[in-house]
Amino acid sequence: MRECLSIHIGQAGIQIGDACWELYCLEHGIQPNGIVLDSQENQLENAKMEHTNASFDTFFCETRAGKHVPRALFVDLEPTVIDGIRTGQHRSLFHPEQLVSGKEDAANNYARGRYSVGSKVIDLVLERTRKLAEQCGGLQGFLIFRSFGGGTGSGFTSLLMERLTGEYSRKTKLEFSVYPAPRISTAVVEPYNCVLTTHSTTEHTDCTFIVDNEAIYDICHRILGVERPSYANINRLMVQAVSSITASLRFEGSLNVDLIEFQTNLVPYPRIHFPMTAFAPIVSADKAYREQFSVSDITTACFESSNQLVKCDPRLGKYMACCLLYRGDVVPKEVNAAIAATKSRHSVQFVDWCPTGFKVGINNRPPTVMPGGDLAKVHRAVCMLSNTTAIVEAWARLDHKFDLMYAKRAFLHWYLREGMEEAEFLEAREDLAALERDYEEVGQSF
């Protein structure tokens, strides 16, 4: 029961997915071929005899041969990146049908991802999704991994989300999205893709957790001592946050948080569903055992900009809701003390209409680190998801870049050529402007 389906779209989504399932396998003791390691198996047996162990079930499907297959789907409109998975370390973990690739890519073009090229693959993807959903006893919802700036990540995801809402209307859909970084960009037409996809996906997603590359890049560089972080380094750090968010679904804990609970507690209004992610502590492997981080230390660290996975200054806004997901050696007494201390700080301002503001989840499995990775093993960690009005800064930046390009109709013909109309651009931009206004409105005092 309570299964979750992960869908990884586009290059970013797939590479994050690769790191993500690698980490999940490490945490659950699953080897690259899907078989559980012996010692864990025994533990499982013991545990099973006492009560049904549902922890694997949410994310892995067990075949009769004893192999654990991830409940995941990898989709891309061109084969290169998925071929990396097909020939990579985890190739025997996934069933070939879970890796869907097209032949012609979206070329950083939302229109291609959504209309021309995407429409050819969508039916196949939906069919595979159906198959995976049928294997679930009680599907909770979908976790979508994608980037905003790419063609597939923006265009195809919009198309998919629309169709998923049609077929699975009552299921939760959460997104982990890579937002275009303020100063680092990988595509010139990022602003277009981003605005268009946000406009079309907003009504279909329940909650979007955003991260941006620049923030994680800075963390890797300054704190972890990696001189030139590669995507591998960045993704490994990001999936630690993803793992913390899904830990409650995969392990029993003293204070579990379901997918629906995220929505209920983080999203005050349907459109205001873009929480910011932060993670603590982030300790370099070279500095293992140096410092011990108490619960109050890591809670405070979450509110510092150096631990945020998004480049945004929360001091410029107000918090509407905060979800603190602890894992490891944590007791509720310490958590309450830490939260009380945070509330009393001036720099952490909540909106008037949300007095309590905090949702806590505790899971007792400490974070697992990849062997040979950049992070040191710690006894406890926390991932904070905070819905703050300061995120409007990110949208404003994006809208500004969009306006500059659109004013000159630059690069527009690539979209128009694929069947889009200028009206769609205007509509999307209007929607984002309305989103900005919504944020401003909720942040105002009575």
Establish if 333 lies at the interface with other proteins (CB under 8 A). yes
Please report how close the Cβ of residue 281 comes to other proteins at its closest, in angstroms. 15
Q: Which of 214, 374, 393, 431 binds other proteins (CB under 8 A)?
A: 374
Q: Which residues neighbour 369 within 8 Å (Cβ) at sequence distance 6 or greater?
A: 285, 375, 376, 377
Looking at 75-83, 187-195, 225-233, 272-280, which segment touches other proteins (CB under 8 A)?
225-233
- C-alpha closest to that of 7 among 160, 204, 136: 160
Largest CA distance in the chain: 68
Residue range at the interface with other proteins (CB under 8 A); choices 184-192, 200-208, 227-235, 267-275: 227-235
Total residues in contact with other proteins, by rule CB under 8 A: 29
Residue of 199, 245, 330, 252 lying closest to 50 (CA atoms): 252
Q: Is 261 an active-site residue?
A: yes
Query: Quick one: which of 10, 75, 107, 113 has its CA closest to 419?
Result: 113
What does the per-residue mask of binding to other proteins show for 341-370, with x meaning CB under 8 A? -----------------------x------
Of the candidates 33, 46, 63, 306, which one interacts with other proteins according to CB under 8 A? Answer: 46
Closest CA to 197 of 185, 180, 213: 180
Q: Mask 283-322, x = binds other proteins (CB under 8 A)?
A: ---xxxxx-x------------------------------
Task: Specify the residue, 155 or 253, whose C-beta has the smaller distance to other proteins.
Answer: 253
Which lies closer to other proteins via its Cβ, residue 45 or residue 127? 45
- Please state the closest distance from residue 43 (CB atom) to other proteins, in A: 5
Q: Least separation, in Å, of the C-beta of 312 and other proteins?
A: 24
Q: Which stretch binds other proteins (CB under 8 A): 46-54, 98-106, 261-269, 346-354?
A: 46-54
The answer to whether 43 contacts other proteins (rule: CB under 8 A) is: yes
Q: Are 241 and 304 in contact (CB under 8 A)?
A: no
The answer to whether residue 225 forms part of the interface with other proteins (CB under 8 A) is yes
Q: What is the DSSP letter of 307?
A: G
43-51, 56-64, 181-189, 201-209 -> range binding other proteins (CB under 8 A): 43-51
Q: Which of 27, 252, 261, 427 is catalytic?
A: 261
Q: Which residues lie across from 384 on neighbouring strands?
A: 278, 324
Decide: is 226 part of the binding site for other proteins (CB under 8 A): yes
CA distances from 296 to 122, 332, 338, 406 (A): 47, 12, 5, 47
150-169 residues in contact with other proteins (CB under 8 A) are: none
Distance (Å, whole) CA 387 – CA 273: 7
Place of tokens 């527009």: 412
> Which of 47, 341, 426, 434 touches other proteins by CB under 8 A?
47
Q: At 430, is the secondary structure helix, strand, or coil?
A: helix
d(CA 198, CA 158): 8
Residue 317 gets the label, from left (phi > 0), alpha (psi -120 to 50) or beta, of beta
Please report, for residues 43, 111, 248, the alpha-carbon distance to residue 257 in angstroms, rounded to integers and kept in the order given.
24, 37, 6
Contact map string, positions 230 to 249, toward other proteins, x by CB under 8 A: x--x----------------
**Token representation of residue 89:** 């370390």
Applying CB under 8 A, the residues found at the interface with other proteins are 43, 46-47, 50-51, 224-230, 233, 252-254, 286-290, 292, 329-331, 333, 364, 374, 379
Q: What residues are labeled active site? A: 261
